[in-house]
């Protein structure tokens, strides 16, 4: 398949290209596009063959549902039914933005889009290119993250091109994703409401509006034997090519442990990488040390994770040792992705 790559952003809007991208989706094709969270791989949510194409392009199991992206809050009624009032309250507060709601799906929406479930995931992004594209495509764009299944989500167009060139009709390069981490998913069909995937909008924030909100206990507990409620959370995810080990403990212990492993690795001819923070990056001795940002800036740390994992892929790193974070606020989402990226390999020191 020929893939067209176009650059569109706020400074270089390109209505012609948006129109063309919208037409591709309307005609059953696929377009990768920027959102504020990560790049999405979009198709017409009401076209079952488009959804099938998305699963193929990603290499994703078809029981793992897609998120339906809309461009107007009121369009929620076209994909979902029996919508509780809290959904409208959440939409008023957090949309457009990085919150995905699980609601009962309308029968008109094909089961292929929802991975066979009778619920639907809906989100209205804030990114302008995404909103323009959704509108040009008819209003309902089913889109998972635009990476090959299992790889870190793309936060820059170059990684979308790496994974999706030849598999999609068009890739829109809109620069880097402001948030860089996927949306928070909240299930409003269960009682009490449940967070299925932690994200940029935190448990603490949502609790203010929904005091009895709970977490799907399987998502942060690596040893849980129960299947997570969001089907996607059960698959190996976000994985770099290298083996990744998360190191948890007092800072001095973490640094000492990683430095010892890096020294040993060098003796064995291994290419060792370290995921550090601004506060610690100069204290490591290893061939490749990358900082996620300052521990005082949880949003910056969340934003940099996927990019850094991809950079280690490009450096042919053998083992990545990563610092870990306290599970609160946005760090909870970062930790969730890091635990998955490491395939649950965590050492306590
Ligand atoms: P991605 O688009 O790559 O961020 O993946 C979408 C995520 O939303 C996956 O983890 C899905 O399992 C989850 N998801 C989508 N629809 C539903 C649904 N109806 N119920 C539960 N989880 C969902
Ligand atoms: Mg994904």
Sequence spans of domains, the chain: 4-215, 243-348
Q: What is the pLDDT of residues 192-240, one digit of tens each?
A: 999 999 999 999 999 999 999 999 877 655 555 565 677 666 666 888 9
Mean pLDDT for the chain overall = 94
Ligand 1: atom nearest CA of 183 is 4
Closest C-alpha to ligand 1, atom 5: 144
User: Token digits for 176?
Assistant: 């880097």
Ligand 1: atom nearest CA of 231 is 12
CA 276 to chain centre: 21
3-class SS at 30?
coil
In CATH terms, is domain 243-348 a member of 3.40.50.11030?
A: yes
Q: What is the pLDDT of residue 206?
A: 97
Q: What is the pLDDT of residues 306-346, one digit of tens each?
A: 999 999 999 999 999 999 999 999 999 999 999 999 999 99
Q: What is the pLDDT of residue 226?
A: 60
Ligand 1: atom nearest CA of 147 is 3
Q: Which ligand is nearest the CA of 232, by number?
A: 1
State the helix-helix crossing angle for 331-341 and 298-314, rounded to 10 degrees. Answer: 20
Q: Which of 184, 197, 228 to mutate to test the pocket of ligand 1 (most atoms within 8 A of CB)?
A: 197
Q: Where are the alpha helices (DSSP H) in the chain?
A: 15-26, 48-58, 76-79, 85-94, 128-136, 157-164, 203-209, 251-267, 298-314, 331-341
Q: Which of 196, 200, 236 to mutate to test the pocket of ligand 1 (most atoms within 8 A of CB)?
A: 196
Q: What is the pLDDT of residues 258-305, one digit of tens each?
A: 999 999 999 999 999 999 999 999 999 999 999 999 999 999 999 999
- The set of long-range contacts for 249-255, using a CB threshold of 8 Å and a minimum separation of 24, is 249/348, 249/349, 250/349, 251/279, 251/280, 253/349, 254/280, 254/323, 254/324, 254/349, 255/280, 255/283, 255/284
Lowest mean pLDDT among 46-50, 186-190, 220-224: 220-224
DSSP 8-state secondary structure symbol assigned to residue 252 = H
Rounded to whole angstroms, the Cα distance separating 151 from 187 reads 25
Rounded to whole angstroms, the Cα distance separating 79 from 290 reads 42
Residue in the block written with tokens 């829109």: 172
pTM recorded for the entire structure:
0.95
Homologous superfamily assigned to 4-215: DHBP synthase (3.90.870.10)
User: Token digits for 276?
Assistant: 């550090």
């Amino acid at each position: 398949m020929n893939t067209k790559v176009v650059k569109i952003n706020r400074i270089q809007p390109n209505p012609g290209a948006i129109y063309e991208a919208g037409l591709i989706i309307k005609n059953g094709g696929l377009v990768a596009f920027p959102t504020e969270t990560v790049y999405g791989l979009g198709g017409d949510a009401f076209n079952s063959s488009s959804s099938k194409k998305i699963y193929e392009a990603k290499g994703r199991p078809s029981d793992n549902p897609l998120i339906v992206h809309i461009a107007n809050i009121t369009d929620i009624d076209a994909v979902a039914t029996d919508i509780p009032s809290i959904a409208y309250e959440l939409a008023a507060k957090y949309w457009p933005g990085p919150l995905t709601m699980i609601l009962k799906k309308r029968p008109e929406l094909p089961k292929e889009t929802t991975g066979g479930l009778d619920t639907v995931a809906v989100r209205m992004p804030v990114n302008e290119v995404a909103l323009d594209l959704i509108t040009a495509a008819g209003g309902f764009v089913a889109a998972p993250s635009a990476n090959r299944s299992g790889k870190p989500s793309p936060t820059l167009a170059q990684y979308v091109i790496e994974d999706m060139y030849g598999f999609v009709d068009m890739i829109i390069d809109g620069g880097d994703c402001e948030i860089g981490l996927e949306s928070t998913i909240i299930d409003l069909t269960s009682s009490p409401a449940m967070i299925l995937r932690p994200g940029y909008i935190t448990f603490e924030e949502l609790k203010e509006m929904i005091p009895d909100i709970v977490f799907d206990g399987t998502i942060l507990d690596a040893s849980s034997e129960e299947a997570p409620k969001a089907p996607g959370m059960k698959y190996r995810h976000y994985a770099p090519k290298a083996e990744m080990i998360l190191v948890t403990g007092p800072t001095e212990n973490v640094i000492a442990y990683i430095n010892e492993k890096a020294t040993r690795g060098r003796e064995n001819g291994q290419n060792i990488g370290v995921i550090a923070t601004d506060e610690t990056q100069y204290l490591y001795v290893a061939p490749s040390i990358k900082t996620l940002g300052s521990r005082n800036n949880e949003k910056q740390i969340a934003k940099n994770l996927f990019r850094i994992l991809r950079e280690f892929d490009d450096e042919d790193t053998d083992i990545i040792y990563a610092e870990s974070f306290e599970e609160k606020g946005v760090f909870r989402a970062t930790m969730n992705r890091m635990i998955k990226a490491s395939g649950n390999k965590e050492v306590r020191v």
